[in-house]
A and B are shown apart, each in its own frame.
Chain A
């Protein structure tokens, strides 16, 4: 299959504060001009499943780069050990996330095959971080996959450090595709609908889908949360959305 003539491997680039971090770059093997996607991994880390997502974007004809957001917490460690270290350190700070995603975008911009169009996608905590990135960095298209705490603050019993970021929505630079599960409580359908309203009021172009028979993590093929119908529909929406905008 020609669409699986792809390349993948680890690269280094400058992230937040000029720190050298690593990322997983996946590209089509053939030369050509193409769009670019920054892939933001989920909280369990810079893992095989997320690198496979980057490879999938390469098979779809994009340059894809996934920054290792936990690199500083445990340089060169296994992704699960680095995720544990990040968790113990309180997670990924928002300002560092913005710098690291911007560094990944700059790396992609300097590839000879870059067409100057940029997308960003993230899952779980990466969904919120996608919204955050698209409010602070210029992107053409963004895909938020079930990111929580964009509108609602964490419940009082949850000592998470993340703050709601819907107040940054006026700065949203990209068209936004939102993919959520109807059974998810973080974000709940009510929170998704509220963000939908906020973006509509602001005149921000967006397209939200709350999938039936799906909860949090329905794209994760190696988890019990995987829902094949929702995931397949989601991938079709992503294909069309990036196809139209990148």
Chain B
């Protein structure tokens, strides 16, 4: 099914796309059919430049169980990082 489960979050960062690095100010997180990954549904993450071209995009399609590991790893790494550096 097409779930259209979509959440957006504003960020400040950079991503490297097909034309090189760009400033990314928005991440779209969705749970829906992938284009390339071999699962019926995946956790999809698009790093975007909100006023840029749709091709200014870094796309991830991750198996849901792996996405959870990925998210936990992000949290663990952030937890490990010294508070003064965040």
Q: Does A84 lie within 8 Å of B4, measured CB to CB?
A: no
Q: How far is the CB of A85 from chain B (nearest CB, A)?
A: 4
State the main secondary structure of chain B at its contact with A: loop
Task: Name the interface residues of B25-52: CB closer than 8 Å to any CB of A.
Answer: 28, 30, 32-36, 38-40, 44, 46, 48
Among B3, B54, B55, residue most surrounded by chain A Cβ atoms (within 10 Å) = B54
B5 is an interface residue with CB less than 8 A from chain A: yes
Cα distance A159–B2 in the bound complex, in angstroms: 11
Among A43, A125, A161, A162, residue most surrounded by chain B Cβ atoms (within 10 Å) = A43
Q: A81-B54, A124-B2, A125-B2 are in contact. Are A87 and B32 (CB under 8 A)?
A: yes
Residues of B within 8 A of A90 (CB): 4, 6
Q: Among B1, B30, B38, which residue has its beta carbon within 8 angstroms of that of A87?
A: B30
Q: How large is the interface on A (under 10, 10 to 19, 20 to 34, 35 or more residues)?
A: 35 or more
Residue interface bits A82-93, CB-to-B below 8 A is 1, else 0: 111101101100
A-side interface residues toward B, CB under 8 Å? 42-45, 47, 73-74, 77-78, 80-85, 87-88, 90-91, 124-125, 148, 158-162, 185-186, 215-217, 223-225
Residues of B within 8 A of A82 (CB): 54
Residues of A within 8 A of B33 (CB): 42-44, 124
State the main secondary structure of chain A at its contact with B: loop
Q: How far is the CB of A216 from chain B (nearest CB, A)?
A: 6
Q: Does B28 lie within 8 Å of A88, measured CB to CB?
A: yes
Q: Does B2 lie within 8 Å of A224, measured CB to CB?
A: no
Q: Does B59 lie within 8 Å of A158, measured CB to CB?
A: no
30 A-B pairs (CB sep. < 8 Å): A43-B32, A47-B35, A73-B54, A74-B53, A80-B36, A80-B59, A84-B46, A84-B54, A87-B6, A87-B28, A87-B32, A88-B28, A88-B30, A124-B2, A125-B2, A148-B2, A158-B4, A159-B4, A159-B5, A159-B6, A160-B3, A160-B4, A161-B4, A215-B40, A216-B1, A216-B40, A217-B40, A223-B40, A224-B39, A225-B40
Q: A90-B4, A160-B3 are in contact. Are A83 and B30 (CB under 8 A)?
A: no
Residues of A within 8 A of B5 (CB): 158-160
Q: Does A224 lie within 8 Å of B40, measured CB to CB?
A: yes
Cα distance A90–B8 in the bound complex, in angstroms: 11
Cα distance A80–B60 in the bound complex, in angstroms: 12
**Chain B residue at smallest Cβ distance from A81:** B54
Q: A43-B32, A44-B33, A45-B35 are in contact. Are A91 and B54 (CB under 8 A)?
A: no
**Chain B residue at smallest Cβ distance from A158:** B3
Q: Does A84 lie within 8 Å of B3, measured CB to CB?
A: no
Q: A81-B55, A82-B54 are in contact. Are A44 and B3 (CB under 8 A)?
A: no
